[in-house]
Amino acid sequence: MAFDVEQTKQDLIAWLQDWFEKNGKGCNAVIGISGGKDSSVTAALCVAALGKDRVIGVLMPNGVQADIDDAKHVVAHLGIKHFIVNIKDAYEGAVNALFFSGIQFSEQARVNLPPRIRMSTLYAISQSMNGRVINTCNLSEDWVGYSTRYGDSVGDVCPLGKLTVTEVKELGTALGLPDSLVHKVPSDGLCGKTDEDNLGFTYAVLDRYIRTGEIDDPETKKKIDYKHRINKFKLELMQTYKTGLPELADDE
């Protein structure tokens, strides 16, 4: 089935309106704005669904952010209220506390701590401003686990979670976002590399494989399948031990 961007746009707007009606009537959408396509498209969708007065953008540099002007461009283009919360002190405070506790701070921990601090910040703002936190992840990233558990992988609702990178770009254009934001080279903003450098394959190859099952290089297929398999837990509810004792059903 071909991707119908106009129908998808209208369906997503209606879906978001319905979700807020049921799960946050009158609440604001709180979104972390990085300046990349995902947060830009998510914010634009929320504006279309709720109106700009109910959308709050949060810019969260860790010290100096080289591309923060792109994030400022997003909120200015959409005309939404925004806050800049620099997480540098919180990040360095946590790192220093770990160091003085005798913890050997790993590179993986260093990379993943900022997005976890950012998500805590978003929830603090959401709870202070009658909000709901909007997740900005897309299907392509989720498919291969390219997100931080309890960082950018979470939120209260996820509009783009079933759309590939290719489809998100089309949606961004349909929403009237500037090309400079929609087609910006994606980067995690954490380790100085592009997404595709980190993954070892392009989103075009990944998106084609997700939607059609077709892929030309067997080694790339093996790499994608492996990443998908070991990262599926990130998208699942935390497992709990089942006692076998009776409990109320969800609908009771």
| Structural domain includes residue 173 | yes
> What pLDDT shows up at residue 95?
95
> What pLDDT shows up at residue 237?
86
The counts of H helices and E strands in the chain are 11, 4
State which residues form the domain around 79.
Answer: 5-235
Q: Identify the band that residue 193 occupies on the pLDDT scale cut at 50, 70 and 90.
A: confident
Domain total in the chain:
1
| Structural domain includes residue 248 | no
Average pLDDT for residues 205-228, to the nearest whole number? 97
CATH number at residue 83: 3.40.50.620
Q: Round the average pLDDT of the chain to a whole number and report it.
A: 94
Could you give the 3-state DSSP secondary structure of residue 31?
A: strand
Instruction: Show the 3-state SS of 183-241.
Output: CCCCECCCCCCEHHHHHCCCHHHHHHHHHHCCCCCHHHHHHHHHHHHHHHHHHCCCCCC
pLDDT digits (tens, 9 = 90+) for 73-96: 999 999 999 999 999 999 999 999
Higher-scoring residue by pLDDT: 190, 207: 207
> What pLDDT shows up at residue 190?
58
| Structural domain includes residue 133 | yes
Note whether 181 and 74 are within 8 A (CB). Answer: yes
Task: Count the Cβ atoms, other than its own, within 10 Å of residue 217.
Answer: 11
| Structural domain includes residue 250 | no
Q: Is the pLDDT of residue 141 over 60?
A: yes
| Structural domain includes residue 246 | no
Average pLDDT for residues 60-77, to the nearest whole number? 96
pLDDT digits (tens, 9 = 90+) for 91-114: 999 999 999 999 998 999 999 999
| Structural domain includes residue 12 | yes
Average pLDDT for residues 62-83, to the nearest whole number? 96
Q: Identify the band that residue 185 occupies on the pLDDT scale cut at 50, 70 and 90.
A: confident
| Structural domain includes residue 251 | no
Distance CA 204, CA 209 (A): 9
| Structural domain includes residue 241 | no
